Amino acid sequence: SFPLDAAERTFARLFPRVEAAFGEYRQSFPEDWERFTRQLTGNFNALFNALIQVYGDQYDFYYHLESLLVALAESWCRRPADLKHLDRLRQTEPMWFQSNRQIGGVCYVDLFSGDLSGVMSRIPYFKELGLTYLHLMPLFKCPAGENDGGYAISSYRDVNPDIGSMQELTDLAAKLRENGISLVLDFVFNHTSHEHEWALKARSGDPLFQQYYYMFPDRSKPDAYERTLREIFPDEHPGAFTWFPDVKRWVWTTFHSYQWDLNYANPEVFIAMAQEMLGLANAGVEILRLDAVAFIWKQMGTSCENLPQAHLLIQAFNACARIAAPAMLFKSEAIVHPDEVARYIKPRECQLSYNPLLMALLWESLATRKVSLLTASMRGRFAIDPACAWVNYVRCHDDIGWTFSDEDAGHLGMNGYDHRRFLNDFYTGRFEGSFARGLPFQENPKTGDCRISGTCASLAGLEQAEAEQNQEAIDLAVKRILLIHSIIMTIGGIPLIYLGDELATINDYAFRNDPHKVQDSRWVHRPSFDWKKTEDRNNTSTPTGRVFTGLKKLVEIRKNNSVFAGHQTEIIDTGNPHVFGFLRIGDDQRALILANFSEHEQPVPANLLRLYGLGYLYTDLLSGNPFPPVDFQMSPYQFICLLVA
């Protein structure tokens, strides 16, 4: 426990020392220093209150706090003028990311276009799609061979030399920004690679750097921890620890053995990582994807996931960003129970969050042709802080985990475990009559747990339909792809397209011939971007053209109607178990969205429209025509988007 005015008293003591250290800068740039002072005073309490709860009992807490403040000031002094300009813009329009004009895309630099200069040359393609947000998958130095698609980082300051340099990254960020596109990068902060300088020092026996990780000489502690841990990548190694004979230690490796978990119980790790984070901010990153947030704090006897200290640490990182790089926002990547996902979403923690529940339940609805779980879950869980936003997606570089709540399912009379089994059978194609061609990921025979890999198109039925040359099935697959995308475009939040999906890219099994990839089925949905396919993008006699033009139409509808800004959304009961519906509530308009998740016609009564209409005037945004409020039939997988006037 500490006195209530501890933050103010600490600030009064520490700030003059920081000012003294930056005397020259203050004199040369008084206004700029003034801005920093304002940002620091405005966020110091948040920073202090988070850190003292995590580190307050360490004898040298104040020393660390002072070093952190100095590091923040140094980073601010180094922050380029154009980014400080952006800081101002974002401070005057803090809800910019809620605009209906926001559309996201994500890709791997090497697979998409070879290298960073290749990405630069593809800006016209991003603009054609309407992107305003580009997430480039991890692009920093990483071990040769296996590196978890770049999620094992050996240096946060060096771009992987195969794809470019730090300067090229900075230039690309600026060029994207000029084109109205925000650069999004990962902050892989739960772990570094085993080849990071800190890990190398730890391996060579440096006790200071051994404190950067969790290292144990024998199995006693690992065994004790493992009693309550879940296995994340059981295919690679059982449990959470790996034995490294060179240092004769068990090292905490939640994911792969070459990904060493950082020890945030050590305040030096927090400060070091805050500096790495600000380095990314100063390179021009506007949105930081916080990877694997759930795992950053460990405590024996717990699951070591989603612990209160994990939240405090993210709040502290967030305060650092508000102080030294205020334009930069956080996006949480927590693919966990929906109750836990929600806890990261706060203006002072993560302003943005993936919406893994919506993602999983869109696929669940396609498999079952029923929308009850989707409707019930979204009803209870879609609403979040008005100052935050969802990032809605149908596919990403990862597997699909069935992270719905067993309680939600239970209320509908479904057994969560059995339902997940069904979904896994369905999406691996084992279920009789399934249209999907996915692969199992990290199937765990001990728990029956399994996740699903596969591209959007393959999971939606296109691969199988094309193999069978079944026109009708191809048609249905295209409709499924567009249906789930139409939801993410309109439901509220930033829609995020996994690039390649806009061209209906199917699975690529070539990863099976690559010894560094064969053990990780996620590579089946990470093919090289097929630029040849883009030639078909406006040819609507091909599935590629139908998906691309269909998606572009949805993008246009979203961008042209401010009712799709923000996330004021009411999930409605359509009275039809196959039809998902919601109402978007804008400042002066409303939109009614209906989505038929079955391959059969579905009736919708006019009463439903009347219920949500004002004066019964509807415009069908897809056709531009008036929509009469009479009983009607929805065609298979039809999506209806009505502007209500």
Residue ranges in contact with ligand OTU by CB under 6 A: 148-149, 151, 188, 232, 255, 291-292, 294, 333-336, 397-399
- CA 97 to CA 566: how far, in whole Å? 9
Where are any strands of DSSP class E within 220-359? Answer: 241-244, 249-252, 259-261, 287-290, 329-332, 352-354
Contact (Cβ atoms closer than 8 angstroms) between residue 596 and residue 637? yes
Contact (Cβ atoms closer than 8 angstroms) between residue 434 and residue 363? no
CA distances from 168 to 113, 139, 481 (A): 14, 12, 35
Instruction: Enumerate residues 6+ apart whose C-beta is below 8 A from 36.
Output: 73, 76, 323, 324
Instruction: Rank residues 359 and 608 by Cβ distance to ligand OTU and give the closer one.
Output: 359
Name the residue among 318, 308, 322, 352 with its Cα closest to residue 334. 352
Question: Considering the complex, what minimum distance in angstroms separates the CB of residue 349 from ligand OTU?
Answer: 16
Name the residue among 46, 279, 53 with its Cα closest to residue 159. 279
- CA 247 to CA 251: how far, in whole Å? 10
3-class DSSP assignment, residue 563: helix
Instruction: Rank residues 402 and 637 by Cβ distance to ligand OTU and give the closer one.
Output: 402
Instruction: Rank residues 148 and 364 by Cβ distance to ligand OTU and give the closer one.
Output: 148
Question: Considering the complex, what minimum distance in angstroms separates the CB of residue 255 from ligand OTU?
Answer: 4
Instruction: Rank residues 289 and 558 by Cβ distance to ligand OTU and give the closer one.
Output: 289
Torsion of CA 187, 188, 193, 196, to 10 degrees: 30
Q: Determine which one of 236, 333, 364, 508 is catalytic.
A: 333
Name the residue among 293, 37, 259, 302 with its Cα closest to residue 151. 259
Instruction: Rank residues 451 and 567 by Cβ distance to ligand OTU and give the closer one.
Output: 451
Q: What is the DSSP letter of 213?
A: B
Torsion of CA 555, 560, 566, 569, to 10 degrees: -80
- CA 267 to CA 68: how far, in whole Å? 10
Question: Considering the complex, what minimum distance in angstroms separates the CB of residue 373 from ligand OTU?
Answer: 20
Question: Considering the complex, what minimum distance in angstroms separates the CB of residue 187 from ligand OTU?
Answer: 11
Question: Considering the complex, what minimum distance in angstroms separates the CB of residue 310 from ligand OTU?
Answer: 12
Q: What is the end-to-end Cα distance of the chain in Å, rounded? A: 56
Residues 254-293 as b or e (16 or more Cβ within 10 Å = b): bbbbbbbbbbbbbbbbbbbbbbbbbbbbbbbbbbbbbbbb
3-class DSSP assignment, residue 54: helix
Question: Considering the complex, what minimum distance in angstroms separates the CB of residue 594 from ligand OTU?
Answer: 32
- Look up 501 and say whether it is catalytic: no
Torsion of CA 245, 240, 346, 567, to 10 degrees: 120
Where are any strands of DSSP class E within 437-554? Answer: 439-444, 449-453, 494-498
Question: Considering the complex, what minimum distance in angstroms separates the CB of residue 167 from ligand OTU?
Answer: 26
Write down the residue that tokens 């050590």 correspond to: 266
Instruction: Rank residues 254 and 574 by Cβ distance to ligand OTU and give the closer one.
Output: 254
- CA 316 to CA 50: how far, in whole Å? 6
Instruction: Rank residues 398 and 449 by Cβ distance to ligand OTU and give the closer one.
Output: 398
Instruction: Rank residues 139 and 641 by Cβ distance to ligand OTU and give the closer one.
Output: 139
- Look up 588 and say whether it is catalytic: no
Q: Determine which one of 87, 110, 291, 502 is catalytic.
A: 291
Question: Considering the complex, what minimum distance in angstroms separates the CB of residue 628 from ligand OTU?
Answer: 46
The tokens describing 485, both together, are: 């995308």
Question: Considering the complex, what minimum distance in angstroms separates the CB of residue 635 from ligand OTU?
Answer: 36
C-alpha 372: how far from chain center? 25
Instruction: Rank residues 334 and 371 by Cβ distance to ligand OTU and give the closer one.
Output: 334
Task: Give the active site residues.
Answer: 291, 333
